[in-house]
Structure 1
Amino acid sequence: MKDLDLEEFQNTVTNCLVRHKSIIDVLAKIDETSARVNRAISKSVTSCGCIQINAKKQQIPADISLCELASYMETHLDGKLCENCREVIEQEIGNHLFYIAALCNLLDLSLKDILYEENEKLSTLGIYNLS
């Protein structure tokens, strides 16, 4: 698979965005696609059952350092996505990314620059980011 440049992705989105070109439409579609990602994950639990959510209060000892905290935190997920659920969730995340890129285009923002800056912040601050 060829490496895709984020600028190329944004250009492709620009060429494909026809119906929902208004910022109001794009904002509404971002909400909709986010909900569809959540729904696809929920369906992998409730309909397929390939993953399970076993949520409970996080058990964190009082005497640990911030650096040790990650080793005590749980994802609350059991199992592994089946091929069908993986495909559906990837498609929904792709749709969501399309509208994120569309929003960046409308606001003349570079998705590549945003991701670079976020990565730099995370790399520099590490666990102290706590955003």
Structure 2
Amino acid sequence: MHDNKCCSDFQSAVDEYLIRHRSVLDVLTKYQEASARVNRAVAKAVTGCGCVQVAAARQSAPETTTYSELKEHMSSHLVGEPCAQCREIIATEIGHSMFYLAALCNATGLSLHQVMQQEYKNVKTLGAFHLT
């Protein structure tokens, strides 16, 4: 119940305070811009601050690995953790992205909580096959 209140309170606050960009077109483009800023914040943690590094290579696992064991062999390609300043910037940008996600839910008449609940059910039901 607490999660529902958190989502609905957040969605209501977004509805109350989003004044200038109420058009669905504005919301869509602001959401896309906010998502790009999340990407930029992570990239700057690597290229600007250097608190994290990207060590990317082809994902590989032994051929005898089962699908359920595959996660143990997959890498995020990140080395290290964001410093306090980068973590704060990334969290802020994710928050802005969430703001416009809630605004998109408002514009389309969807409940953010219900969308999250449905996606949670899908993930739990389909497991590893959810996004394949």
1:85-124 equivalences in 2 (<5 Å): 85-124=86-125
Shift of 1:130: 3.3
Report the equivalent of 2:64. 63
Question: What percent of counterpart residues are identical?
Answer: 45
Number of residue-to-residue matches in the alignment:
130
Partner of 2:38: 37
Distance (Å, rounded) in 1 between the aligned partners of 2:126 and 2:32: 29
Q: After TM superposition, which residue ranges in structure 1, 4 or more long, deviate above 3 angstroms? A: none
What's the offset of the Cα at 1:121? 1.0
Structure with the bigger percentage of helix: 2
| Structure 1 position 59, deviation (Å) | 1.4
By how many angstroms is 1:64 displaced?
1.5
- The one-letter code sitting in structure 2 at the alignment partner of 1:104 is C
- Stretch moving more, 120-129 or 31-40: 120-129
Name structure 2 gaps, 5 residues minimum: none
Q: What SS does the aligned partner of 2:101 have?
A: helix
Given the two structures, how large is their TM-score scaled by the length of structure 2? 0.94
How much does 1:127 deviate?
1.5
Query: TM-score scaled to structure 1, two decimals?
Result: 0.94
Measured in 2, the distance between the counterparts of 1:12 and 1:123 equals 30
